[in-house]
Amino acid sequence: MAIIVNKKEKRRNIALACQELLLEHGIDNITISQIAKTAGVGKGTVYEYFENKEDIVFEIITTFVVEYEKRFEEISTSDLATREKLFRFFNLLFENETARRHLVIYKEFLAISMVHEIPEMLRFSEEIQAKFVKFLHQILQEGIGRGVLQEGIEDYTHTMMLFGTGLVVDSRLGIYEIGKEIECFLDMIFMFKQGGAS
């Protein structure tokens, strides 16, 4: 019986093998030749499993996203204080050197996605966004349940996500200090409960 290689699995294996390569070179500078060599296969073989370069880069990024989904879930299901959870949620891509390397790739992905508006990428972004919205929503609900957040605040989940995106994009500007901006934002969120800004 011939060995049937699970196509999906092989895709993932090639992608996993190239995580570090992508972090090293970035989306624009990574080449198919490097990918093939790093994955230990021929260039033609890469094209057996992937439609085009975009497709493979995409898959590698997916491996990162999967990791971060876990991280977000851990945060949302942990027993930390609500405010701490929210801080970690927004700070996840900035918290250390490793995260910041991932941030670089995420920004590259965002840049391509912004400019080219490839349907597949958009769908992918929407899916990710939806998942993150879900986790954020959970944290907020729990905060309301715990009595530390005002009821109705969950209506602003989208608003918060947009703030998060702005944070990623504008983190490059010296005028913003990530930690401080997040704290400031959280102050605003938590202020409702205290009866407004008075």
Name the site residues for DNA (rule: CB under 7 A). 1-5, 7, 10, 29-33, 36, 41-45, 47-49, 52-54
Residue 175 binding: pick among a copy of itself, DNA, none (C-beta 5-8 Å cut-off by kind): a copy of itself
# residues contacting a copy of itself (CB under 8 A): 53
Q: By CB under 8 A, what part of segment 51-90 binds a copy of itself?
A: none
Among the listed residues 87, 114, 45, the one whose alpha carbon sits nearest the alpha carbon of residue 189: 87
Other beta carbons within 10 angstroms of residue 78's beta carbon come to 12
Q: By CB under 8 A, what part of segment 175-194 binds a copy of itself?
A: 175-176, 181, 184-185, 188, 191-194
Give the nearest distance from C-beta 24 to DNA in angstroms.
Answer: 14
Using the rule CB under 8 A, which residue among 42, 145, 147, 179 binds a copy of itself?
Answer: 42
Using the rule CB under 8 A, which residue among 4, 8, 97, 172 binds a copy of itself?
Answer: 172
Cα 101 from Cα 84, distance rounded (Å): 23
As to burial, measured by CB atoms within 10 angstroms (0-12 exposed, 13-18 middle, 19+ buried), residue 145 is: exposed
Q: Is 163 in the site for a copy of itself (CB under 8 A)?
A: yes
Q: How is residue 173 annotated by DSSP?
A: S
Do 130 and 158 contact (CB within 8 A), yes or no?
A: no
Cα 149 from Cα 106, distance rounded (Å): 30
